[in-house]
């Protein structure tokens, strides 16, 4: 007879967490220093800090509140969805600060931490949270923690390769986080596939209360996504007008995607009604797509068109692709990250390519097309290979994965007395 309870992680999670935090602490003691701004005037430094800190807070809210609330859509996985989001984000940010510093500041043998480096670290953590969505409810916190660290490592190394070999724009390369995270997570989910959740797990459901909390997460993400896309723009070589263009374009793209998400959800429903889960996800697809294409978008109608197409593809993909992927490839994508992040991200890549080709001469256009295609291929290949390898690593029984019937269930990891009482009354 199978055991009634999920395997205890007492000998796994505390040990792994303590070990990683000890290593991080030692590395911060040895290498990390706070950057000083003595070379700037007091007034200019104060203005820079206020602007940077406001954007940092916006991104911070998105990472911890936006993604955290959005992950609570399952009926019996609210504690785990929000709690594991905080755990992964907190750990991934620390590791991203270190590995970004090691690769970008290796010539000075010190890591100077500033507001820009922290924002970059949070964007890297966002990529890990996107990947987590594909295995949402099917992996224990130890597996998720290790997966997040490997994903952040792979994403940062990919950025370093793109910048070193192709001199890729830093803002453009980091906004490929949606494509990298989604493909990485889907490959991990494919390797960790469970027959017990096919065709649909009995606990993979949502209700009014969890749907409302998840909608709060969507609203936090939707409101602050312009800051997410524009936070790093001013730090590079573009003129100051691009930052406002990115903010306006992101907002308009998001606005169009909301309307399209609700329309397509109702249009494709057999009952002619909207699906809250579809709307929560597809309403954000415009922000994903415009984030990849933003450096080439200079007209409001272009941003709105990108949002229109992104929401259309995302909503259709979420409605039909998830079940077909499970049937054809035995790949279960819990949060539909392939439809919500990968497809809009690739759409933004195509939009960026076409807009640049239209504005360049033929010779330069060919060179840019080759460069642009190589950037996407390297990103996709790195995410697919590292996702597969990570899935094989996490499949080891040493990490004590829960049984199939304990998937999507808080009771496997949390003290949830309410569930016990409910069972007693049945």
**pLDDT of residue 420 exceeding 50:** no
The answer to whether 182 touches 130, Cβ cutoff 8 Å, is: yes
The answer to whether 275 touches 301, Cβ cutoff 8 Å, is: no
Q: What percent of the chain has pLDDT over 70?
A: 88
Residue 193: which pLDDT band, with cuts at 50, 70 and 90? confident
Query: What does the pLDDT read at residue 38?
Result: 46
pLDDT 10s digits, 260-302: 999 999 999 888 899 888 898 899 999 999 999 998 898 999 9
pLDDT 10s digits, 48-62: 677 788 899 999 999
Residue 158: which pLDDT band, with cuts at 50, 70 and 90? very high
pLDDT 10s digits, 249-258: 999 999 999 9
Residues paired with 113 in a beta bridge: 34
Q: What are 185's two structure tokens?
A: 């997570």
Query: What does the pLDDT read at residue 379?
Result: 96
Asked whether residue 162 is assigned to any structural domain, the reply reads yes
Select from 168, 141, 282, 283 the least CA-distant residue to 222: 283
Residue 132: which pLDDT band, with cuts at 50, 70 and 90? very high
Q: Could you give the CA distance from residue 373 to residue 414 in angstroms, rounded to a whole number? A: 45
Select from 225, 162, 183, 151 the least CA-distant residue to 341: 183
Tell me the residue range of the domain where 179 lies: 13-35+45-412
What does the pLDDT average to over 301-311? 96
Asked whether residue 335 is assigned to any structural domain, the reply reads yes
Q: What are 220's two structure tokens?
A: 């936090």
What does the pLDDT average to over 29-46? 70
Asked whether residue 116 is assigned to any structural domain, the reply reads yes
| CATH code, domain with 267 | 1.10.3430.10
What does the pLDDT average to over 147-153? 97
Q: Could you give the CA distance from residue 179 to residue 157 in angstroms, rounded to a whole number? A: 15
Q: Using omega within 30 degrees of 0 as the cis cutoff, is the peptide bond preceding 199 cis?
A: yes
Asked whether residue 40 is assigned to any structural domain, the reply reads no
pLDDT 10s digits, 366-411: 888 888 899 999 999 999 999 999 999 999 988 888 877 788 888 8
What does the pLDDT average to over 173-195? 92
Q: Could you give the CA distance from residue 333 to residue 371 in angstroms, rounded to a whole number? A: 31
Residues ≥6 apart with Cβ < 8 Å to 284: 218, 221, 222, 225, 254, 257, 340
Burial class (CB in 10 A: 0-12, 13-18, 19+), 143: buried
Query: What does the pLDDT read at residue 42?
Result: 59
Residue 4: which pLDDT band, with cuts at 50, 70 and 90? low
Q: What are 315's two structure tokens?
A: 């909503």
Residue 425: which pLDDT band, with cuts at 50, 70 and 90? very low
What does the pLDDT average to over 413-424? 60
Query: What does the pLDDT read at residue 44?
Result: 62
Q: Could you give the CA distance from residue 346 to residue 377 in angstroms, rounded to a whole number? A: 11
Which has more pLDDT, 108 or 354? 354
Query: What does the pLDDT read at residue 344?
Result: 95
Maximal C-alpha separation, the chain: 74
DSSP designation for 414: S
Query: What does the pLDDT read at residue 5?
Result: 57
**pLDDT of residue 350 exceeding 90:** yes
pLDDT 10s digits, 70-83: 999 988 899 999 99
**pLDDT of residue 3 exceeding 60:** no
Q: Where are the beta strands (DSSP E) in 12-141?
A: 32-34, 111-113
Give the mean pLDDT of the chain.
87
- Range of lowest pLDDT (108-117, 355-364, 392-401): 355-364
Q: What are 390's two structure tokens?
A: 């990570």
Which has more pLDDT, 11 or 77? 77
**pLDDT of residue 122 exceeding 90:** yes
Q: Could you give the CA distance from residue 31 to residue 101 in angstroms, rounded to a whole number? A: 9
- Full-model pTM: 0.91
Domain count, the chain: 1
């Amino acid at each position: 007879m199978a055991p009634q309870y999920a395997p205890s992680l007492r000998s796994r999670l505390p040990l792994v967490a303590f070990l990683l935090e000890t290593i991080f602490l030692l590395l911060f003691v040895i290498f990390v220093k706070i950057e000083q701004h003595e070379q700037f005037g007091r007034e200019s430094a104060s203005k820079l800090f206020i602007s940077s800190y406001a954007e940092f807070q916006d991104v911070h809210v998105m990472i911890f509140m936006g993604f955290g609330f959005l992950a609570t859509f399952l009926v019996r996985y609210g504690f785990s969805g929000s709690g594991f989001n905080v755990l992964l984000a907190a750990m991934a940010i620390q590791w991203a600060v270190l590995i970004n510093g090691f690769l970008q500041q290796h010539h000075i043998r010190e890591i100077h931490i500033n507001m820009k480096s922290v924002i970059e670290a949070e964007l890297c953590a966002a990529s890990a949270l996107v990947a987590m969505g594909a295995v949402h409810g099917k992996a224990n916190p130890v597996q998720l923690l290790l997966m997040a660290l490997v994903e952040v490592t792979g994403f940062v190394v990919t950025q370093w390769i793109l910048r070193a070999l192709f001199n890729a724009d830093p803002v453009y390369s980091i906004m490929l986080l949606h494509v990298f995270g989604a493909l990485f997570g889907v490959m991990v989910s494919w390797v960790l596939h469970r027959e017990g959740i096919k065709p649909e797990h009995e606990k993979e459901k949502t209700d009014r209360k969890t749907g409302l909390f998840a909608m709060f997460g969507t609203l936090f993400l939707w409101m602050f996504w312009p800051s997410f896309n524009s936070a790093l723009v001013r730090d590079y070589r573009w003129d100051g007008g691009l930052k406002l263009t990115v903010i306006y374009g992101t907002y308009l793209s998001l606005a169009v995607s909301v309307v399209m998400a609700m329309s397509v959800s109702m249009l494709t429903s057999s009952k002619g009604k909207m699906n809250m889960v579809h709307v929560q996800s597809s309403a954000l697809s415009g922000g994903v797509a415009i984030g990849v294409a933003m450096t080439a978008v200079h007209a409001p109608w272009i941003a709105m068109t990108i949002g229109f197409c992104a929401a259309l593809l995302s909503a259709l993909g979420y409605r039909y692709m998830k079940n077909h992927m499970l049937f054809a490839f035995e790949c279960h994508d819990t949060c539909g990250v392939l439809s919500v992040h990968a497809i809009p991200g690739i759409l933004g890549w195509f939009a960026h390519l076409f807009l640049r080709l239209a504005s360049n001469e033929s010779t330069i256009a060919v060179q840019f097309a080759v460069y642009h295609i190589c950037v996407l291929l390297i990103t996709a290949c790195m995410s697919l290979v590292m996702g597969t390898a990570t899935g094989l690593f996490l499949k080891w029984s040493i990490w004590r994965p829960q049984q199939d019937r304990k998937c999507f269930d808080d009771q496997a990891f949390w003290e949830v007395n309410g569930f016990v009482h409910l069972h007693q009354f049945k």
